[in-house]
Structure 1
Amino acid sequence: MPEGKKADPGGHSHVSPVVKGFAGSIGGVAEACCLQPMDVIKTRLQLDKAGKYHGIVHCGRTIASEEGVKALWKGLTPFATHLTLKYALRMGSNSIYSGALRDSEGKLTDGRRMLAGFMAGITEALIIVTPFEVVKIRLQQQRGLSKEGLKYKGPIHCAATVLREEGLRGMWSGATPTILRNGTNQMCLFWAKNNTDKFLWDKHEGDGKMLTPGQSMTSGFLAALLGPIATGPFDVAKTRLMAQTKTSGGVRYTGFFDALRRIPAEEGVRAMWKGLLPRLLRIPPGQAIVWAVSDQITGYFEQQALLKASGGLAA
């Protein structure tokens, strides 16, 4: 941070939405490669109505022993692509919404920061998350590794099959709970990350202070704990709706609210938080990785912008 430059608690970032989007996409690639097995386990647990799996470790061991270790990375291609695009859109759109919601002095209240995060979550849910997660979940729920015995041979074949058999709406199965889940998640995330940075490290948006990767990972991890707990029912309903395919007898869940009603009625209230532990083991570490990468990129450009501005003033 240039000498004499004071942190402004209500100040705004000097980094463009494009740079923030790029930083988020790079962080998304790193997260996908590291944490895909936990996402596969989470999906299998959420779809396990017969009680085949007895927890995270048992689920992982069962998948590896029955289908091979490679099965723990099922759906990696759509997952990595999905995260890359999702984080680019999330970080970039949040920057745009935050800029639009600032007051005449460039300040952003906590309430408006949460609104910007919620809007960013809705944007990513509609444009990126829903269709990619439909493909990912359809691939992850399949048993075995031999393509000959699988209905979906890969991401492109899966998308084409869903479109052919279920129409365009099939690619947006579970859109409503996805919107509610992602909107709430990002509302919590951006608010918590900003306030955690201020509380732990005295880092204020736009002040040019560069956090260490360890500091960014700590803030990202803590900020991401709240969302999965708050959105558990949305995520379970989303997974069930995305996994079901149309048959001659129709579908099990007719929609989001039907799923919210039937799942606890048939399986108990705790079923609405199935897969919560693997989500907590995946999402906070994932956000720790994403923010460790993206904060370094945005911090560098933020410092360069401040140095350029101070040089221009001096001139």
Structure 2
Amino acid sequence: MTRILPASFPTAPFARVLCLLAAPLSLSPAQAAETMVTVPAEGGKIIGTFNDADGAADTPVILLLHGFTGSRDELPVAGTDEGVFSRAARLLAEAGYPSLRIDFIGSGESTDKTWQETTFSGQIADGLSALAWLDAKLPERSQVVLGWSQGGLVASHLAAQADPEALILWAPVADPLPTYSGLLGVDAVATAIASDDPAETFTFTLPWGATTALNAPFFDELVTTDPVAAVAQYDGPLLLMVGSKDTIVGPQPEMGERFANYHPGATEMKIYPMDHSFNVFTDASTLDQMLVETVSWLGAL
């Protein structure tokens, strides 16, 4: 069953979380339980940050997966000294949910390969390695996978292969070929797909002015990777959060509805008046609202 809901700010049952979100951002002793970790993986070492939680022992641990060209702390949030995922991890920990956020190999501090060598399949393998590490560290806890944008594509495949307790997708990539063609240019992507040299590198200028370089195998997987088909193989609970002003993975909410339409399990989709980055270039209010509602949803599982 799919429930499509407007965003709403929960009240009484989640007053503790609301108070936490309203609190100053300086670290308290409970928040300081943040540790850099190394996760072994087939393609090299994955660097991550583990946030412990001063909460109930039976809460799941959450794996956070960053987006295209991102890293484990993610985009800076205006008015704070935190990134999207470092803030999310802190607030989730304060609500009783430990988490691990990782740099996919080739991103951030996971430098055993270069960024240009990244592929969807490589990131999926990294995600599976991270889940295995969490299973060894916290065998008593179930697992939840949360992915943003390209991280949502990866999370969808982890759900199909690892069957976590729940799946959370923030503005997930539903159809890679048109999404990345829009980001990188239709003709440029077509040229890269036509390459028969796996070592050939293509350089692009992104809509916001940054440049990035990727090898030919990345573009082959734009055609062969289907996150919606992956979600169709997962029957656990799914929370979708999308923005009506998203111009990166759009149109919305239709792209979110593709996941909802093919997911065989319980689905809840929330639509916010936000861009692809949760309006964090303005302030933290939308992101914080999403986190309160995420905690609410997790608590009801």
Q: Which structure is higher in RCO with an 8 Å CA cutoff and minimum separation 6?
A: 1
TM range (shorter): under 0.3
- TM-score (normalised: structure 2): 0.27
Between Structure 1 and Structure 2, the one with more strand by share is: 2
Structure showing greater radius of gyration is 1
- TM-score (normalised: structure 1): 0.26
